[in-house]
Amino acid sequence: MKKWIAMFFMMVFCVSCFAGCSGKQTQSDWDYIKDKGELVIGYTLYEPMNYLADDNSLTGFDTDFAVAVCEKLGVKAKFVEINWETKEVELNAKNIDCIWNGFTIDDERKEKVDFSIPYLVNKQVIVVKDSNAEKYSTIDKMAGASMTAEKESAGQKAIELNSVLSANPYVPAEKQTDVLLEVKSGTTEIGVIDYIMALASTGEGTDYADIVILDSIELTPEEYAIGFRKGSTETLEKINSAILALAEDGSLEKIAAKYDLVDKLAEGLVK
């Protein structure tokens, strides 16, 4: 009899432990974020999305946008600079809660992260020194030229998808800003970066006044969204609702106007 009683209590203990463990495992991603009271945002530095102002404070469209969304949700926005190449690793390790940094939607990334609704339209563009603009006026003329794009970026993907560009000598850069530095210094002839960044970073009055965008060449059209851990259903609902609320009350358009991005807002987000 004592043996059966002991076995009974052992079974109860095991079931209780299993239930407790299951409870922890089934905590939603939103509950995890809400319990912390903060949304940890992974970013890299590039203008106009997330960059350092003259006083060394973090600013930019994505920075302001994230703060506004977090205010709607009642949590604090915490920004953590990451290595773009390992962004999904950082996300799944819970070192960050989302990737919010001009993050381009594509089918491969959809397998790794859950995306919010799109909020900006973008494309990949080719940048060269102005002295090389005529030399590389078409894709075919670029055959054999040295190229660079940010490692594991949409720019790198655009190169890989083009039969001419993918055959060229290619050295990946750690950051998009490094792409501009390489082109400016002449260590690479052609760079591929985000159009939104190129508009803000090149031309008269910038550090890259001698770099031009080859507007006549079309690469891949894109949309930006926020990336979350897979299975973040409730978090996505909260985030998307906050984005739509900011669009409805005109706040999102005001943030976009500050960075000259109103015409880049995704369809349905301009009041």
Residues 16-72: tens digit of each pLDDT: 444 444 444 578 999 999 999 999 999 999 899 999 999 999 999 999 999 999 999
What average pLDDT is seen over the chain?
A: 91
The arithmetic mean of pLDDT across residues 217-241, rounded, is 95
Looking at the DSSP bridge assignments, the partners of residue 123 are 221
Q: How far apart are CA 243 and CA 236, in angstroms?
A: 10
**pLDDT bracket for residue 217 (50, 70, 90):** very high
How far from the centroid of its chain's Cα atoms is residue 175's Cα?
Answer: 12
Which candidate, 36, 37, 32, places its Cα nearest to that of 75?
37
Residues 106-157: tens digit of each pLDDT: 999 999 999 999 999 999 999 999 999 999 999 999 999 999 999 999 999 9
Q: What are phi and psi of 149, to 5 degrees?
A: -155, 165
Residue 178: Cβ-neighbour burial (10 angstroms; 0-12, 13-18, 19+): middle
Q: What is the Cβ-side half-sphere exposure of residue 84, based on CA atoms within 13 angstroms?
A: 23
Residue 13 predicted with pLDDT over 80: no
Q: How far apart are CA 29 and CA 243, in angstroms?
A: 18
More confident residue, 22 or 174: 174
Question: Residue 96 corresponds to which amino acid?
Answer: I
Question: Residue 155 corresponds to which amino acid?
Answer: G
Which residues, 6+ apart, have CB-to-CB distance to 73 below 8 Å?
39, 238, 239, 242
pLDDT value for 223: 96
Residue position matching structure tokens 């739509």: 244
Residue 74: Cβ-neighbour burial (10 angstroms; 0-12, 13-18, 19+): exposed
Residue 214 predicted with pLDDT over 70: yes
Are the C-beta atoms of 175 and 150 separated by less than 8 Å? yes
Domain ranges of the chain: 29-121+223-264, 123-221
Domain covering 123-221, topology: D-Maltodextrin-Binding Protein; domain 2 (3.40.190)
Are the C-beta atoms of 266 and 121 separated by less than 8 Å? yes
Cα-Cα-Cα-Cα torsion 37, 223, 48, 127, nearest 10 degrees, comes to 150
* Whole-prediction pTM: 0.81
29-121+223-264 and 123-221, same CATH topology: yes
E runs forming strands in 60-216? 76-81, 98-104, 114-115, 120-129, 147-149, 190-194, 211-213
Q: Which CATH code for domain 29-121+223-264?
A: 3.40.190.10
